[in-house]
């Protein structure tokens, strides 16, 4: 689990980092924790993670930062597509209501919030991160990251190493191969029907030896080398 702390106060930052590391050891949770001292560095770090197709699972963000305040920073992160958890931690509770505008997980007041509450918030964030990482697919291209719920995906198609994912009447293009995506989604309800198409089984409403029809009305061809596997899936589906 990747955790970032953004705080320009080195003393409080170090103290909180040590507290989080102790909570992780206590609860046998493996975390990779990094502290940054400015919101500019925070944004750069998240963009760097995105470029390496990694995800920051949790951010502890001081509100009263000198370069850009925490609320504004959180809004910018949300606009960049960051949808994991943000916990504000600061010296006053006067910004707590503003946290709702950016869907903050919680709000910690330094030297006031109890250790028990801090642990509760941390463990909640851990559970949410595990849920996100098992139910979503994180994709990135040209500095943009998308976290897409697997249940929302209709199908993937590939053309010259550019893969397009179709979900909720939206699309997102990224560089990969269908073989890699198929491996990543193994056992998650997808079937390869063509060299160019990987389809969510839940989206299939009709199929024959030539085509697959999806709920949205999309017709996709079945490749010759995939026909046997598709027909076998159809037989099993009809027998259940």
- Residue 238 pLDDT class (50, 70, 90 cuts): low
Q: What is the pTM of this model?
A: 0.63
Q: pLDDT band at residue 34, thresholds of 50, 70 and 90?
A: very high
Parent domain of 64: 2-137
**Rounded to whole angstroms, how far apart are CA atoms 58 and 172?**
24
Contacts of 217 (CB under 8 A, 6+ apart): none
Query: 43 and 108 share a domain?
Result: yes
Whether 104 contacts 87, CB under 8 Å: yes
Which of 167, 145, 168 lies closest to 157 in space, CA to CA?
167
Say if residue 104 is in the same domain as residue 151: no
Helix axes 115-135, 10-26, angle to 10 degrees: 70
Q: Which of 78-82, 104-108, 145-149 has the highest average model confidence (pLDDT)? A: 104-108
* Listed residues 85, 112, 137: the one ending a domain: 137
Q: Are residues 32 and 125 in the same domain?
A: yes
pLDDT in tens, 176-226: 999 999 998 988 889 999 999 999 998 998 998 899 999 999 999 999 999
Number of domains composing the chain: 2
pLDDT at 132 over 60: yes
Q: What is the pLDDT of residue 38?
A: 95
| CB 107, CB 87: distance < 8 Å | yes
For residue 11, give the CATH number of its domain: 3.40.50.2300
CA dihedral 91, 93, 94, 99 (to 10 degrees): 110
Short-list 59, 99, 96, 105, CA closest to 75: 99
Last residue of a domain, one of 119, 137, 155: 137
């Amino acid at each position: 689990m990747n955790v970032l702390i953004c705080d320009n106060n080195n003393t409080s930052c170090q103290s909180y980092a040590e507290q989080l590391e102790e909570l992780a050891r206590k609860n046998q949770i493996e975390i990779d924790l990094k502290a940054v001292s400015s919101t500019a560095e925070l944004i750069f770090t998240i963009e760097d993670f995105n470029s390496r197709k990694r995800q920051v699972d949790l951010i502890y963000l001081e509100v009263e930062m000198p370069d850009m305040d925490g609320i504004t920073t959180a809004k910018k992160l949300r606009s960049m597509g960051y949808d994991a958890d943000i916990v504000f931690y600061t010296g006053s509770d006067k910004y707590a209501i503003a946290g709702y505008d950016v869907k903050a997980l919680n709000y910690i007041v330094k030297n006031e919030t109890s250790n028990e509450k801090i642990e509760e918030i941390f463990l909640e964030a851990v559970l949410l991160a595990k849920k996100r990482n098992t139910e979503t697919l994180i994709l990135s291209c040209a500095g943009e990251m998308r976290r897409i719920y697997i249940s929302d995906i209709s199908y993937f198609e590939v053309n010259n190493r550019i893969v397009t994912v179709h979900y909720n009447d939206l699309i997102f293009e990224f560089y990969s191969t269908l073989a890699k995506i198929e491996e990543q989604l193994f056992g998650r309800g997808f079937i390869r029907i063509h060299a160019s198409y990987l389809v969510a089984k839940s989206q299939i409403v009709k199929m024959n030896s030539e085509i697959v029809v999806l709920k949205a009305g999309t017709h996709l061809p079945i490749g010759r080398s995939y026909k046997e596997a598709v027909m076998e899936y159809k037989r099993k589906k009809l027998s259940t």
